[in-house]
Amino acid sequence: MSDTNLTAVLYKKDDIRLEERPVTDPSPGEVQIAVHSCGICGSDVHYWKHGAIGDFIVNAPMVLGHESSGTVTKVGQGVSHLKIGDRVAVEPGVPCRVCDFCKSGRYNLCPEMRFLATPPIHGDLSRFHNHAADFCFKLPDHVSFEEGALLEPLSVGVHACKRAGVSIGNKVLVCGAGPIGLVCMMVAKAMGASIVVMTDISAERLEFAKKVGADDVIRVESRDPKVNASIIEKTLGSAADVTIECSGAEPSVQAGIYATKSGGMLVLVGLGAAEVKLPIVNAATREVDIRGIFRYANSYPTALAMVASGAVNVKPLVTHHFPLEKTLDAFETALTGAGGAVKVVIDCFKK
């Protein structure tokens, strides 16, 4: 094994550097992982271009990356369920495990959460990474490293659909056809939705959405939410039982409320402006429930089962691969969407 660890580090806005770092032994309860695949998330790109997301500010050099999989190369003290050579997917958020949120199963809300590539916590866009063993999930032989890395965004879709209460026969609207919108669509269909319609302003994204399973798509051309809601209802055949809003755009959230049936559910997944104007009286008087989500909790096992069983096929989402040495090229591709990029994966292993 190499005694160095090529790592992608964000020093500040617009400043990603590749540098060698030492390979360290895992602490008790951890495993050392030779990272194989690491997907680029929108949050990684946002930190790169803006240096912050809300109150999370890059004040010191931070290793990027949190959508990953790899092979266990060392096992720390007290770890018994994993061994050297096991292929694993890494759930990037490690909570305290003892607070009320953790004990009630909502550990994604833990105030002591340590989430990879969220300042000041380092990510795992590197050759080697040490991680809590109980947040590593062994991959079946037929599940690829690439699929293992995509369990992270897929878990967002699982959590969103669970929060939305998607069930058999539902008519579902997904606003926004980026990677998270796409996995929400896939999970909704796997959970029994009879029809899933997706909206976006990009014809290219909508065309891709149709290819990977959307039943119908709507290109949004008007900024009038009521006009868009009318088009959505016509396409669905009625108002949506469930709306999953993944764009964060104010007009889209507004249209989502109008397009959701009375007594239905709107789940806010995409994050845009800190404050938006909403038709709240319309939602209140029609008992349209509005829920938020924050990452996910207890979703990795479900996401892995969906992929392993074939209920969800995430492979088509990966459109580009780059070696770790070309991390900056990978980020440029993810930022611009060049070549029809949807999900860009960095191969962290040494070729």
Are the C-beta atoms of 232 and 173 separated by less than 8 Å? Answer: yes
**How much is the pLDDT for 327?**
98
Q: How confident is the model at residue 54 (pLDDT cuts 50, 70, 90)?
A: confident
Residue ranges matching CATH 3.90.180.10 in the chain: 4-150+314-347
**How much is the pLDDT for 65?**
98
The residue among 68, 57, 63 whose CA lies nearest residue 22 is 63
- In tens, the pLDDT along 188-198 reads 999 999 999 99
**Cα–Cα separations (whole angstroms), residue 136 to 33, 95, 148, 312:** 10, 13, 10, 20
Are the C-beta atoms of 271 and 248 separated by less than 8 Å? Answer: yes
Domain 157-292 fold is: Rossmann fold (3.40.50)
- In tens, the pLDDT along 67-108 reads 999 999 999 999 999 999 999 999 999 999 999 999 999 999
Mean pLDDT of 14-32: 97
Q: Check pLDDT > 60 for residue 2.
A: no
Instruction: Classify 228 as helix, strand or coil.
Output: helix
One-letter identity of residue 2:
S
Q: Check pLDDT > 50 for residue 320.
A: yes
Q: Check pLDDT > 90 for residue 4.
A: no
Residue ranges matching CATH 3.40.50.720 in the chain: 157-292
Are the C-beta atoms of 264 and 289 separated by less than 8 Å? Answer: yes
Q: Check pLDDT > 80 for residue 1.
A: no
Instruction: Classify 268 as helix, strand or coil.
Output: strand
- In tens, the pLDDT along 182-223 reads 999 999 999 999 999 999 999 999 999 999 999 999 999 999
> Which CATH number does the domain 4-150+314-347 belong to among 3.40.50.720, 3.90.660.10, 2.60.34.10, 3.90.180.10?
3.90.180.10
**How much is the pLDDT for 351?**
80
pTM: 0.96
Are the C-beta atoms of 282 and 261 separated by less than 8 Å? Answer: no
The dihedral formed by the CA atoms of 74, 77, 79 and 85, expressed in degrees to the nearest 10: 10
**How much is the pLDDT for 3?**
59
- In tens, the pLDDT along 131-150 reads 999 999 999 999 999 999 99
d(CA 65, CA 40): 7
- In tens, the pLDDT along 267-289 reads 999 999 999 999 999 999 999 99
Geometric angle at alpha carbon 314, from 308 and 316, rounded to 5°: 135
